Homo-oligomer: A and B are copies of this chain.
Amino acid sequence: MIEPRTLPGFYEFLPEKQIEFNKIKDIIIKNYEKFGFLPLDTPIIELQDVLLAKAGGETEKQIYTLEKGDKKLALRFDLTVPLAKFVAKNYGELAFPFKRYQIGKVYRGERTQRGRAREFYQCDIDIIGDGELNIINDAELPTIIYNIFKELDFGDFTISINNRKLLSGLFQELQIEENSAEILRIIDKFDKIGIENVKKEFEELNLSQEKIDKIIDFILIDGTNNEKIKSLKSYNINNDIYLKGLNEIEQVIENIEKLGVPEDYYKIDLKIVRGLDYYTGTVYETFLKDHRELGSICSGGRYDDLASFYTNKKLPGVGVSIGLTRLFDQLDGLGLIKYNKKSTSNVLIVSMDENMDKCLEISTILRDNNVNAMVYMEDKKIKAKFKYADKLKIPYVIVIGEEEIKQNKYTLKNMKTGEQSLLSIDEILNII
């Protein structure tokens, strides 16, 4: 006999959790499709040289590799590389802008700690342009995020928006471009390590006190979105990249408003930079206001070129990703996942005796009327049958015995209130 074990970092929910997980996933899909995104489902296994074309360092260490025959294979570690491969491979078949969503499992062999899964779902959307892509697309993504988290109802949230070009412009103005990668890395940690440590790390880079103050002032620009844009304009930086960034973020903010997102839900935050050097313009992070400690629950940004490792075509894009497994696990830990349902059934039909004929007949009528219904088929005491409904939190039980069959009426019990009444099938259908 072998002990049935599941690997650490790999999730396998009980059905009641899986039902809630799926509900969230379905809301995400519905909203992605509402904005016209097309589904994609790429393989989990790819050739190593294809998957790792661009990867390096940390990513490569975390990867799951395997061999089959003479082929070196690997499991995907995100959904962006497979998208790049797919678009490069099928360029001629696609209509651009290509809007795709993909929801699927990805694999990273990280050390497991709370919230660090090795197998987890990502829910990605990206809009890929052919050569160019209008900046208004960058306003559509926060609108989709807003719609999703509004519907998911996990509490108030903020979509923080920045544009990398603004910081690049600032660094150029301050003539500290050669340090920009390190400076961005430090800014990225601002929330985690606090202002004093940020200053200390800047000092370790040998930045002058004046420049450090200027950076700090800049990333802490405060006010409403319009006030922040005004401040950014008054900064008097005139290099091309800064002006471009300024123009972009202004358009993004304007158009989010036009798309009907209430101002409370999105704000310019000049500290948001995202870890990846991949991003070249707009960047996003999303925070639950009451649970900032969770970090960003939905992030992304604009990139100049999706698939330069696979094709000469220039394919700029913008995308965001929800790390669904991690998010679900964290929300569950906080008690924010409500287990209203533990079953997919609305009704359990039980017989008073061994005769199941009427139960089967009634179950078919219910299903034909789009009611999810289950017949309890085992030969158990009536108490055991009710216990089953209770354990699965099935809202209604229909009881059928000789008397009911004679009268052509059936006992419907509301499992929440305990109420029960003798009703015709039509009356039952009206209630359920």
A residues apposed to B, CB below 8 Å? 1-7, 10-15, 18-19, 21-22, 33-47, 49-50, 53, 64-66, 68-69, 71, 73, 84-86, 88-90, 93-95, 97, 99-100, 105, 107, 109, 119, 129, 132-134, 136-137, 140, 147, 255, 258-260, 307, 309-312, 343-345, 348, 356-357, 360-361, 363-364, 367-368, 370, 372-375, 377-379, 388, 391-392
Residues from chain B with a CB closer than 8 A to the CB of A140 are: 375, 377
Using A43-B11, A50-B5 as known contacts, say yes or no to A374 and B119 having CB atoms under 8 A apart.
no
User: A293 to B292, alpha carbons, bound, how many Å?
Assistant: 58
Looking at the assembled complex, report how far the CB atom of A381 sits from the nearest CB atom of chain B, in whole angstroms.
Answer: 14
User: A199 to B54, alpha carbons, bound, how many Å?
Assistant: 60
Looking at the assembled complex, report how far the CB atom of A64 sits from the nearest CB atom of chain B, in whole angstroms.
Answer: 6
What 6 new A-B contacts, CB under 8 Å, besides A15-B100, A260-B364? A1-B311, A7-B47, A64-B66, A133-B378, A136-B375, A140-B375
Residue in A12, A14, A136, A373 with the greatest tally of chain B CB atoms within 10 Å: A12
Residues from chain B with a CB closer than 8 A to the CB of A15 are: 38-40, 100
Cβ-closest chain B residue relative to A370: B34
Residues from chain B with a CB closer than 8 A to the CB of A18 are: 38-41
Q: Is the CB of A7 within 8 A of B43?
A: yes
Using A6-B89, A36-B373, A134-B377 as known contacts, say yes or no to A360 and B43 having CB atoms under 8 A apart.
no
Using A7-B73, A39-B19 as known contacts, say yes or no to A2 and B258 having CB atoms under 8 A apart.
no
Residues from chain B with a CB closer than 8 A to the CB of A45 are: 7, 10, 64, 107, 119
Offer 6 A-B interface pairs, CB within 8 angstroms, sorted by A: A4-B311, A6-B85, A18-B40, A66-B66, A133-B378, A134-B378
Looking at the assembled complex, report how far the CB atom of A9 sits from the nearest CB atom of chain B, in whole angstroms.
Answer: 9
Using A12-B41, A95-B388, A363-B259 as known contacts, say yes or no to A6 and B46 having CB atoms under 8 A apart.
yes
Q: Is the CB of B50 within 8 A of A2?
A: yes
Residues from chain B with a CB closer than 8 A to the CB of A107 are: 45
User: A35 to B109, alpha carbons, bound, how many Å?
Assistant: 38
Q: Is the CB of B258 within 8 A of A361?
A: yes
Using A12-B42, A64-B68, A360-B255 as known contacts, say yes or no to A4 and B89 having CB atoms under 8 A apart.
yes
Using A22-B39, A39-B15, A43-B119 as known contacts, say yes or no to A2 and B71 having CB atoms under 8 A apart.
no
User: Which 8 pairs from chain A and chain B are nearest by CB?
Assistant: A36-B374, A15-B38, A36-B345, A66-B66, A10-B43, A33-B344, A4-B310, A4-B89
Looking at the assembled complex, report how far the CB atom of A112 sits from the nearest CB atom of chain B, in whole angstroms.
Answer: 11
Cβ-closest chain B residue relative to A137: B377
Residues from chain B with a CB closer than 8 A to the CB of A309 are: 1-2
Looking at the assembled complex, report how far the CB atom of A281 sits from the nearest CB atom of chain B, in whole angstroms.
Answer: 15
User: A196 to B1, alpha carbons, bound, how many Å?
Assistant: 44
Looking at the assembled complex, report how far the CB atom of A408 sits from the nearest CB atom of chain B, in whole angstroms.
Answer: 17
Q: Is the CB of B97 within 8 A of A378?
A: yes
